[in-house]
Amino acid sequence: MLRLERFGAFHYRRDSVRFTPLSPKEARLLADSATSGRSVPEVETLEPGLWSDAELMSAMISWRDAGIVDQGFVCRARVVDAERSHGGLIGPMVTHFQLTQQCNLRCKHCFVDIMARPGPNELTTPELLDVFADLRRLGSPLVVFAGGEPMLRPDFFELVGRLEEFELDAWLCTNATLIDRTAARALADSALRGLSISLDGPDAETHELLRGRGQFKRALAGIREIVEAGHPDVKLRVTVNPHNVDRLVEFADVARELGVHKVVFKPFRRTGLATDPRLLVSRARYYAAIERASKLWPSDAPPGEFDDGMPSRPPEWTRIIPRFGCVGGTTLATVVYDGRVVACDALLSKDDWTVRSHGFAECWRRSPAVASWRSLEAGAECGECDNFTECGGACRARAVGAGGTMSDPDPWAECSEDEVRVRRRTLAVVS
């Protein structure tokens, strides 16, 4: 897919799940090739002078190696060109779905207002399929299914079975306690790209401090079923908190025994309804823990991936993300279980529009609540920071969760050269 944008274009490859940003000159040439079926050299001769021979040859080889053009140097991508949001993209790059408010667990660190039953106003199957259709039209191929527990929806496998129809690449976030042999086979045979399964302790005692008695055994049983069924991408997702922060390397043995493909660590964030300060770890303690764990991580274990929750920023020249702010409302959107379209699922607003009242595309383009994320202003602390250009204030939900405002810095933002060096050194060890 080639999605035209103000800065040029994104090329998206489904096989590698990769977005490549392209300059206006690149976008124009590739779009002409894609719409005409002609090779890049043929198209370029129709409007000569924009490229030197050496520059064009270098670009063509690079595009061929990246899969943007084929061996005959023809771009075969589907071209998407639609109305853009004010100051933003045609559509999000990633869309999260809270498929249901219902969950079978009561985890202490959950930020969602979960219930024992489905919410009274949850989106229907046809309404969700309408959103899928909008995402295809907008060229927004990446989706994440979460909840609540998404597998509790009666139509869950019907929705999964329709993904390919809309050219969507989806990942499932689940607690795995509902995965029996039948469900595992259905998941393994589905179009789901991957499963991210919550496991918050290397043993029952630690895991169940957050997730409840008996849940460790149930989670492991579900994980074993999906691994045995042969799904190619099953990873453990660990929320790092004071109960497990000093035991991260122990997850390597668990992952090896289960046969999963990766373990991803992220720190607990105080956001939404997840407000218990006792679950927080300091940035310094987290960095020390992941540096220690990464050095001790066994070479024969599935890889560990350590994330500090700091949003990554696209190349500055694309101007996709404003100078201040994060990915919320710029490259990321969430569809809440009742149809609200929000920039961040941890920061809801009474002014959020719904897909029932406006449709997804219109919510993305014009919802005042979503659009406000594209014009945030930095407060004095961020605006005067020497690291502002690189950091941009970072996560807005974490800033608000720490008692600040939307203009205040993320408490994990690096605001001094020493802090920047520590983060770079730590993450370099991890990589």
Q: In what order do the strands lie in the sheet with 234-240?
A: 304-306, 262-267, 234-240, 194-198, 169-174, 142-146, 94-98, 332-335, 341-342
Residues 6+ apart with CB under 8 A from 173: 144, 145, 146, 147, 150, 196, 198, 237
Q: How many alpha carbons fall within 13 Å on the CB side of residue 95? A: 29
Every domain of the chain and the residues it spans:
2-80, 94-306, 377-431
Which residue from 293, 11, 236, 47 is spatially nearest to 141, judged by alpha carbons?
11
Q: How far apart are CA 255 and CA 202, in angstroms?
A: 9
The SS3 call for residue 341 is strand
Answer yes or no: are the C-beta atoms of 320 and 331 closer than 8 Å: yes
DSSP H helical segments within 190-338, as ranges?
A: 204-211, 215-229, 250-258, 283-296
> Going by DSSP bridges, is the β-strand pair 341-342/332-335 parallel, antiparallel, or unpaired?
antiparallel
Per-residue pLDDT of the chain (431 residues; tens, 9 = 90+): 999 999 999 999 999 999 999 999 999 999 999 999 999 999 998 878 889 999 999 999 999 999 999 999 999 999 999 988 777 899 999 999 999 999 999 999 898 988 889 989 999 999 999 999 999 999 999 999 999 999 999 999 999 999 999 999 999 999 999 999 999 999 999 999 999 999 999 999 999 999 999 999 999 999 999 999 999 999 999 999 999 999 999 999 999 999 999 999 999 988 888 888 899 999 999 999 999 999 999 999 999 999 887 767 777 777 777 778 888 999 999 999 999 999 999 998 888 999 999 999 999 999 999 999 998 888 988 888 888 877 888 889 999 998 999 999 999 887 766 666 566 556 555 54
What is the distance, to the nearest Å, from the Cα of residue 218 to the centroid of all Cα atoms in its chain? 26
Residue with tokens 């995402």: 135
Answer yes or no: are the C-beta atoms of 203 and 216 closer than 8 Å: yes
* CATH T-level fold of 94-306: TIM Barrel (3.20.20)
